Amino acid sequence: MIGIKDIGIYIPDVRVNNLDKAERHQVKKDFIENKVGIVSVARKEPQQLSSDLCVFAYQDLQEKEESLDGNEIDFLCVCTQNEDYQLPQTSAIVQAKLGLSTQVAAFDISLGCSGYVYALHISKDFMEANGLERGLLFTSDPYSDIVDPNDKNTDLIFGDAATVTLLTKDPKFEIGKGAFVTDGSAYEKLIKRKDEYLYMDGRGIFNFVMRTTPSVVESCLQKNNAVNEDVDVFIFHQASKYVIENLARRMKIAEDKVPFTIAEYGNTVSSSIPIILERYLGSTSEQNIIICGFGVGLSLAASLVRRV
């Protein structure tokens, strides 16, 4: 059984203060603090690529897993929609930068905010089907490269980060069954066209999330023979404070079960869920955790991870 053993995280030290942008974006500071909920966003160095952020996340993982041997890694996946180049795949570049064995399966997955949930299931099944034992699942989506600094809908939201999840046969969390929804008819609500900045219709995505998430989470629970009361934590993609608070209210989930953690670094796209999940790895009180990502596509994915 392949599951989650550990998670390495990289969030750049550089922060850009959103409150300083209030006048430029013609919004009140109260709106930034209490509705958006993001007072600063993390920013990588301009020359850094997605693969560079992956390397930093791996270094954090190495500090946590001192016995980690790169020569024993037989699987590598990078979930990103901000790849280093149009080709080759970023996972090949990460393999080279980390000096991993060439006897490794490596590929990319192009998904955004639902990407971590999708990638977990793909990685688990691929590894189990091929007898692989130690894998690395990276998330890296540096949106600072594609955000328009004059667009308040994106400039106040997105921060840079990367994570790496160590997948092994002796996990701390097993990966349950997932539930998935795709509405491609709304693809233009979050889109990056060639030679243009990222465009986001925040209201359109909010409506999709509010309309779709409750039923998808319920479907996920049913597939895993669980009910709401069995879940200790609901980790939703960290879109904004407004989205998280409204989801908790609509789904009648206690506020202390729905963390919101991105005030100081921003919406990190595919990395937002594993950044939060990492804090529960060393605990034993949280046995069942729902992870649910939503956004670009439009796409929504939910899964249940259980402590082994």
Question: Do both 29 and 150 map to the same domain?
Answer: yes
Mean pLDDT, rounded, for 160-185? 98
Question: Do both 129 and 17 map to the same domain?
Answer: yes
Question: Do both 214 and 259 map to the same domain?
Answer: yes
Question: Do both 14 and 160 map to the same domain?
Answer: yes
Beta strands 3-10 and 162-168 are antiparallel
- Output the pTM of the full model: 0.97
Q: What is the predicted pLDDT for the residue at 228? A: 94
In this predicted model, what pLDDT tens digit does every residue of 264-303 receive, in sequence order? 999 999 999 999 999 999 988 999 999 999 999 999 999 9
Looking at the chain, the whole-number percentage of residues with pLDDT higher than 90 is: 99
Give the Cα separation of 221 and 253 in Å (integer).
14
Average pLDDT over all residues of the chain = 97
Q: Point out the domain boundary residue: 119, 151, 171.
A: 171
Question: Do both 123 and 225 map to the same domain?
Answer: no
Tell me how many domains the chain contains. Answer: 2
Q: Point out the domain boundary residue: 126, 155, 171.
A: 171
In this structure, what CATH number is given to the domain that contains residue 65?
3.40.47.10
Q: Point out the domain boundary residue: 138, 171, 204.
A: 171
Question: Do both 17 and 157 map to the same domain?
Answer: yes
Question: Do both 64 and 206 map to the same domain?
Answer: no
Give the Cα separation of 117 and 211 in Å (integer).
19
Q: Does residue 7 come out as left (phi exceeding 0), alpha (psi in the -120 to 50 range) or beta?
A: beta
Beta strands in the chain (DSSP E): 3-10, 15-17, 40-42, 75-79, 105-109, 134-140, 162-168, 173-182, 190-192, 198-200, 233-236, 288-295, 299-307
Instruction: Give the domain extent around 259.
Output: 174-307
Question: Do both 59 and 131 map to the same domain?
Answer: yes
